[in-house]
Amino acid sequence: MIIVVNTKCSKYEIDKLINHINSKGVSTNLVQGESQSVIGLIGDTTKIDSDDLLALPCVEKVLKVQEPFKKANRLFKPDDTIVDVLGNKVGGGHIGIMAGPCSVESETQIIEIAQKVKASGANFLRGGAFKPRTSPYSFQGLESQGLELLKLAKNETGLPIVTELMSTDYIDKFVEDVDVIQIGARNMQNFDLLKQIGKTNKPILLKRGLSATIEEWIMSAEYIMAGGNENIILCERGIRTFETYTRNTLDLSAIPIVKRLSHLPVIVDPSHSAGDWRLVEPLAKAAIIAGADGLMIEVHNDPQHALCDGKQSIKPEKFDEIMKKVKILSEIEGKSI
């Protein structure tokens, strides 16, 4: 970290500031410029909060030199993390394809969709049992019953289950029933939830928050890792911008950036980001070719009668078509599904 010193401060005040910082076990190096001086902090600064420094007298600005995450940092673990879920790998050259309906609706529905997406090449079944909805009057999911139906579909197809956890009350149940616990965009900074799943050993799918910077997103992964659970798959699903033709703006630049900063795998959800089934194919293909380690796609056998998000769901036939192209692009990228 580097402190930019307020130009109005005297030498005496600057010395006091330097002593204060040294007292925290960090060395300093004062560089005096013509109109501005700066203090470099040397040593382990991860325990020093830049916001706390800003409250000290004579501190004008604090500039960060290093990323604030450790366990998720590629600097300290250069090799790709590969998350292995019942033999289905994500990361390190392995593409994970998670497909299924927005909401689990019935046994027939979920089994039929699971069979179809498996046939097309998906290796995970996604499906919502507990649904985060903006309105309290919208369908909130089949909840526990939905989990049971997902288990039936898993029994039929062997596909591991990915589904969203919204409440710490259900952690034990999810650890038992679910293969990948999804943390939704709206809970990306629900720190209580992050801490508690950090104590489990379940693979976690961590979606990026609607207004989360890449750094905050990786810091949320760091929360989980700090608890001991390092099986994390990041998922880009669009950020909020001023553009209204799409529900959110998919930030594909985040893929190569995350891969440079962190060793964790990162996948893309083209269905939620765009909110429009017509964009799923181009965005899914673009994600793979930009280096994503997988996709999460909404597939529904009858989108027009889906209980939620039908607008962004594609039919199994369309999914099959997209998968054919995704396979070719994965090969071009030297990866396997």
Window 227-246: residues binding a copy of itself (CB under 8 A): 227, 239-246
93 binds a copy of itself (CB under 8 A): no
Nearest-angstrom CA–CA distance, 218 and 155: 34
Binder of a copy of itself out of 88, 163, 273, 301 (CB under 8 A): 273
Vertex 315: Cα angle to 153 and 320 (nearest 5) = 85
Rounded to 10 deg, the angle between the 254-261 and 214-226 helix axes is 40
- Cα 234 versus chain centre, distance: 3
Which is closer to a copy of itself, CB of 159 or CB of 185? Answer: 185
Bridge-based pairing state of the strands 88-90 and 294-298: unpaired
Q: Is 287 helix (H, G, I), strand (E, B) or coil?
A: helix
Nearer to a copy of itself, 159 or 225 (CB): 225
Question: Which one of residues 15, 24, 25, 46 is an interface residue with a copy of itself (CB under 8 A)?
Answer: 46
The residues, any chain, with a CB within 8 Å of residue 252's CB and separated by 6 or more, are 236, 268, 283, 286, 287, 290
Q: How far is the CB of 158 from a copy of itself (least distance, A)?
A: 30
- Minimum distance from CB of 21 to a copy of itself (Å)? 12
179 vs 298, beta carbon nearer a copy of itself: 298
Closer Cβ to a copy of itself, 79 or 169, answer by number: 169
Distance CA 283, CA 270 (A): 6
Q: Which is nearer to a copy of itself, 116 or 327 (CB)?
A: 327
Cβ pair 204, 230 in contact under 8 A: no
What is the footprint of a copy of itself within residues 54-83 (CB under 8 A)? 54-57, 61, 63, 65-66, 68, 75
Closer to a copy of itself by Cβ: residue 82 or 226: 226
Distance (Å, whole) CA 290 – CA 335: 12
The smaller minimum CB distance to a copy of itself, of residues 26 and 82, is found at: 26
Task: Kindly tell me which residue out of 25, 93, 228, 282 binds a copy of itself, with binding defined by CB under 8 A.
Answer: 282
Count the site residues for a copy of itself by CB under 8 A. Answer: 106
User: For residues 121 and 209, which CB has a smaller minimum distance to a copy of itself in the complex?
Assistant: 209
Cα 146–chain centre separation:
23
CA-CA distance, 122 to 319, in Å (whole number)? 9
Angle in degrees, CA 145, 147, 151, rounded to 5: 115
Q: Which residues ranging from 251 to 270 are in contact with a copy of itself (CB under 8 A)? A: 251-257, 260
Out of 274, 299, 322, 337, the residue judged to bind a copy of itself by CB under 8 A: 274
- What are the tokens at 113? 């969709």
Q: Which 169-228 positions form the footprint of a copy of itself (CB under 8 A)? A: 169, 186-187, 189-192, 195, 209-211, 213-216, 219, 222-223, 226-227
Restricted to residues 114-153, the positions that interact with a copy of itself (CB under 8 A) are 132-139
Mask: binding to a copy of itself, 292-311, rule CB under 8 A, as x and -? -----------xx-xxxxxx
| H or E segment to which residue 128 belongs | none
**112 is an interface residue for a copy of itself by CB under 8 A:** no
Tokens of 39: 């203090």
Phi and psi torsions of 114, nearest 5°: -60, -45
Taking the C-alpha atoms of residue 110 and residue 276, their distance in angstroms, rounded to an integer, is 22
23 binds a copy of itself (CB under 8 A): no
